[in-house]
Chain A
């Protein structure tokens, strides 16, 4: 009897032991140290997509040879004991309005299932042809670009006025209501008379002089021609600069000088065919009186020949923080530091009643040498009260011109807004699933 009791006890103890064993189970080694296949998968896809190669393949037709290349790359980059399954899904909208994943293509280096210990990551790729568009606000003004075929430039070495005009047009035309190339000095004369060339609005326009330190002069304003009194006086063509300043004031233009000393020469290859300055034919020197005459005209002062220098050479100048911000906003990236040898004396602000907007007027930080302050690049507005009557953008950098600086100055001043378009999800993105598993780890 006792023996039977003992056997029952043994059975009970053994039963309890076996029962408890079901709940005392050690984890599998793969769970203790699983080599973080998820991070390996993610970094593998990121590496393959660094130069956009992965997304190009993902959006290629399924019979494209790049899929074979992707398979070879995956096999070569992963350890030999790791198997993978890469699947690409298109994200579409179902008729019921929710997102659905449609399998596009799948590649693998194994024919069997990867097992329960596999790890999977999802990686979203945008189509390489997806364009994220930023549409600019159109400033309701006309952009005139001097492109006169009968004039020559100076301090634009390495370029021609025509090539600079083309560059300015491609940089700025999208921001203005109308862009007009002024193709001859005759057209410039029409413009000065307030006549539109193609039905555009002349008032409040921006006029970009791409001829560097020279400015085209219509024939009629030259000595011995009908409008000589507006262009030539006492042996100097500074009078023409005064006329330009007056017209700038009259039509509330912004006159833009892209490099060097503004209005230092006038140019008309037909009228000045036998005259040259520094070897450039068709050009007559005006000198330092040019910019002073222009500013007199802008300020409404009577013309008075004044050749006292107004430009200096501060050397290396740096963008203002405002300019740097606008560089990123408009995506125009000239060098943040330039060399200026024709910066304007800040004394002209008081002399000619000019104002520079602190937030949007200064392109370069002013430089003081103790006695004077030099402004290498800024937009000067002539104000009467709160009203602006003409502006002058002077970029006094040394040659050769970087028109991006002038373009930046104009955009800073007018500050057209950029509107971002929506990036639609459907059809422009695909989901890449990469599943990894270790051989023998299932």
Chain B
């Protein structure tokens, strides 16, 4: 009898041990399967979202160029379609880093390379929650959208007598060797009172490490101001890089003329965009109030030979003084940049550009939250073309549910 009871007790104990072991192991598997299912849903949602963002221009189709928020979110270029992304819509996603107030409106001062200014009306900015609402993922998913040039073209000045620049071209997977470079140098000449702008072109090719020296057959004894744009291309990949310098930056460290995009569509001027050229003192309250004489022209990227074609603008020369800005209008249907050369009363020269469209000088755009606290982040990458420049678009998505 006692022997039988001991046997039963041992049997029960062993059965319980095996049962609990099996249960714990099975529940681990089931728990993992549930997690996998949830992650799979996030991945599928990511794939859906990136397709809807890149295969639709949103509504209205030209929302990137209009004074209104979109009712449906999409970044596809409505004129080119396919894998083309709108050059203008991502501008409205640029996060406000430095803002300032001028004439009753707030402006977002976007940080760009030296000599480039993009001061956008803050009212037109689309923030993270607005985008999440339009995508229908607010409170369900967190996201981060990165739009970056595929090629990084870095241009640095070696000398201006003659003009010589070091260019480095890198892609995602390494340096871009044997890339053809075409450089255009814009330089202000002294023509009283407003400086005229001359331009020269030059070509080069990168070596096995993606480096090249590009020289222009032009030199000056003392620097006034210049802006150089270098386009790198190889077998369909296109990148753009810029460099700028002026004696006003060298001597005073800042530009005295500040351009603002004050209206995306000025109905009084056939729907063209309105840009204000403002004296720096009107914004900062500092510096001298001397007059600034300017000369400006807009350029478009050419379709075949990676140069630029010039579009003249009405009232392209003039004067800006403290309290008296100048206004001009630009056609917004094509990407390009507004190039402005100026001179102060103190004979300091400056040059700056206002890019219209992120592809004009290869601007990167990033909008979204921080995924660092998330257990699982689904990521998708696509290649795209903006204007003629090669870009990559990356969407990261994570669940906000506990």
Which residues of A are in contact with B by a Cβ distance under 8 Å? 2-3, 5-6, 9-10, 13-14, 17, 24, 26-27, 32-36, 39-40, 43-44, 46-51, 53-54, 57, 66, 68-70, 72-73, 75-80, 82, 109
Contacts and interface: CB of A to CB of B under 8 A. Distances in A.
Nearest to A54: B236
B14 A35 contact: no
Interface of B: 4, 7-8, 10-11, 14-15, 18-19, 22, 26, 29, 32-33, 36, 39-40, 42-43, 46-47, 51, 82-83, 150-151, 170-179, 234-237, 376, 378-385, 388, 390, 392
Contact of B39 (A33, A36, A44, A54): A33
Give the top 10 A-B pairs by smallest Cβ distance, nearest first.
A76-B171, A2-B7, A48-B236, A33-B43, A53-B236, A43-B383, A73-B235, A47-B383, A6-B11, A75-B173
21 contacts: A2-B8, A3-B10, A13-B18, A33-B43, A36-B380, A40-B381, A43-B83, A46-B82, A46-B83, A47-B150, A48-B236, A49-B236, A50-B385, A72-B176, A72-B234, A75-B174, A76-B150, A76-B234, A77-B392, A78-B172, A78-B173
A27 B7 CA distance: 42
Contacts of A72: 176-179, 234-235
B379 to A, nearest CB: 6
A373 B179 CA distance: 61
Contacts, number: 137
Contact of B174 (A34, A39, A47, A76): A76
Nearest to B22: A17
A53 B390 CA distance: 13
Contacts of A48: 235-237
A35 B380 contact: yes
A75 B169 CA distance: 13
A70 B235 contact: yes
Contacts of B392: 77
A43 B378 CA distance: 19
Contacts of A17: 18, 22
Given A76-B173, A77-B171, A69 B15 contact: no
Contacts of A6: 7, 10-11, 14
A44 B171 contact: no
Contacts of A69: 178, 234-235
Nearest to A41: B383
Contacts of B178: 68-69, 72
B36 A27 contact: yes
Contact of A43 (B40, B176, B234, B384): B384
A3 B378 CA distance: 53
Contacts of A51: 236, 388
A47 B11 contact: no
A50 B22 CA distance: 58
Contacts of A79: 172-173, 381
A327 to B, nearest CB: 19
A40 B174 contact: no
Contacts of A44: 383
Contact of B40 (A3, A33, A40): A33
Contact of A14 (B10, B18, B33, B385): B18
A27 B177 CA distance: 41
Contacts of B32: 26
Contact of A77 (B18, B175, B390): B390
A364 B36 CA distance: 66
B177 to A, nearest CB: 6
